[in-house]
Amino acid sequence: MLHMGCFVMDDSDKMELNEEVKKLLMEKNQLNTDIRDLDWAKIIKLEKENEDLQRRVEWLDKDKKRMEREKENLARQVSNNRQRKWFNTVKMIMLIGLIDLLILPIIVTMLGIPLQWIFLGIGIVTFFGTLIIVNYMSGTAPLNSGEIRKALTAAVITVYLSFVPLITFGSIQIPSDGAVNTIVVNFTWIVGIIIIFYFISRAIEEYAKIKKQD
């Protein structure tokens, strides 16, 4: 009620105001509680996410270490395999050389075969031996034209390098047959053509690979 120009509250108004204040305080406390709960839920969520991230980091670190160990083992295996391949290749080359330079001459001499036939044996042994070595080093099961070309070139050069000294020093007497003499005279040209063909074909293959990549 109004009294002497001033606003005066009676008891009922005071009680009502107190109730409103209590209600507001309760709402405030509830809001504070809700805020704390929300903050706590956020904290728990963040902690859980942080734990998940730490577990993922640990897992990635373990996986990285495992991959590094596998990489080292693979590199070691490749290195050992390469060394083993070269070692086996050297043994095969020595075996081919032993057959060409020692075993074949002994067989030809013991059986009384004309010495000219030794070149056929050298060519066959060198061709198939080189074919096996090249295929072994490449690691491919089927033979390709490049491997056959290398084996053929190696066989012809080997026969040539063993043929010329024996003919030059008179160790082998070539029959005076026209066809044979023609082959002997033109043998160097044949070897030269084969070598040139080998390098030209290699260059063509490399050029084709470059063009295919472009």
Query: Residue 6 is inside which H or E element, if any?
Result: strand 6-7
Look at the pTM and tell me if it is higher than 0.85: no
Residue 124 has pLDDT above 50, yes or no: yes
The pair of three-digit structure tokens given for residue 13, joined into one six-digit string: 């108004």
Q: Which residues pair with residue 7 across a beta bridge?
A: 2
Predicted pLDDT at 181 = 60
User: Alpha helix locations (H) across the chain?
Assistant: 11-98, 104-111, 117-138, 145-168, 178-185, 187-213
CA nearest 104: which of 46, 24, 164, 159? 159
**Could you report the per-residue pLDDT of 137-154, keeping only the tens digit for each?**
877 667 777 788 888 888
pLDDT over threshold 50, residue 1? no
